[in-house]
Amino acid sequence: MGGTKPLQGVRVVALVINLPGPIAAARLRDMGAQVVKVEPPEGDPVGAVSPDWYRSLTEGQEVVRLNLKEPAGRARLGELLDRADLLLTSTRPDALQRLGLDWPSLSARHPRLCQAAIVGYPAPIENRAGHDLTYQAGLGLLGPPGLPRTLIADLAGAERAVSATLALLLARERGQGPGYAQIALADAAASFAAPLRYGLTTPGGPLGGGLSSYSLYQARGGGWIAVAALEPHFLRRLQEELGVAHASQAELTAAFAKKTAEDWETWATEKGLPIAALRDPTAG
């Protein structure tokens, strides 16, 4: 965001582990918020499975490990919340209630505090267990046996949590008082599944293989390219530059087999066409 820090002076306590909550907390940090990340005594699992990402997410934050099952841990958290503007959580509501961290209890003890609560599913099943994989499975976003290459629900949910936080803080500043927002990861994933639900990316749909000008092609040497000549002017230019009459699947398959993927990407950049070589993000 460059030099703009709209959340400068805002204090956030992030009672979050795994990914959606820490990603949201990192975004709020980038907007200028002062973030205290509260972890259990054993730490955040992300620190063990992806230490580099964990360091990136927590950079510039104060990380505090507390045992909230013990009175001393809950007392220390209460001290942090006394000075906070927002509590960000990613724990199931029934567990928060057992700790006395449900919204009615929190608002009674901390009258200035807002809360953005990330949950798995929307009410009335907000206590149902889930993870990114199960949310995607329920929305038809998986193609077995392969696992997804990214975490749609977690990333989308994090962005929704940031939006909800900004709305809560703005409402409070406008005199509407502190508020509570619940962000369901399944709902966030469902919004990202809309192209599939409405038929755009279904097999054979316009963006699911139905258009030869919006597809993947194998290049010389075994590499692949992504061709996205979706608009008419891109399609016309593609036909003219390749010298093909109709830009059919067969014509484009034959044409793109003549150069390597990297050569086609360079060529497309020079011609102003949306073509990119497929890359393995884990290589190199």
Residue ranges, CATH 3.40.50.10540, the chain: 11-195
pLDDT at 280: 82
pLDDT tens for residues 195-213?
A: 999 999 999 999 999 999 9
**Site of tokens 């990202």:** 192
- pLDDT above 70 covers a percentage of the chain that reads 98
CA pair distance 117, 129, nearest whole angstrom: 15
Looking at CATH, the fold of the domain delimited by 11-195 is given as: Rossmann fold (3.40.50)
- Average pLDDT of the chain is 96
- Stretch 99-126: mean pLDDT, rounded? 96
How confident is the model over 45-66, as pLDDT tens digits?
999 999 999 999 999 999 999 9
Contact 87, 15 (CB under 8 A): yes
Intervals of CATH 3.30.1540.10 along the chain: 206-277
Residue 184 to residue 191: CA distance in whole angstroms: 11
Cα distances (angstroms) measured from residue 30 to each of 39, 53, 251: 20, 15, 48
Q: What is the pLDDT of residue 284?
A: 54
Q: Is the dihedral of CA 45, 46, 47, 49 positive or negative?
A: positive
Q: What is the pLDDT of residues 25-41, one digit of tens each?
A: 999 999 999 999 999 99
**282: pLDDT strictly greater than 80:** no
What pLDDT was estimated at residue 105? 96
Kindly state the percentage of the chain with pLDDT values over 90: 97
Residue 281: its pLDDT value, please? 75
* pLDDT given for residue 1 in this prediction: 54
Q: Return the pLDDT at 4.
A: 76
Given pLDDT bands bounded at 50, 70 and 90, which one contains residue 2? low
| Preceding peptide of 40 cis, ω within 30° | no
- pLDDT for 137 equals 96
SS3 11: strand
pLDDT in tens, 71-84: 999 999 999 999 99
**Average pLDDT of 161-189?**
97
Radius of gyration of the chain (CA): 24
206-277 belongs to which CATH class?
alpha beta
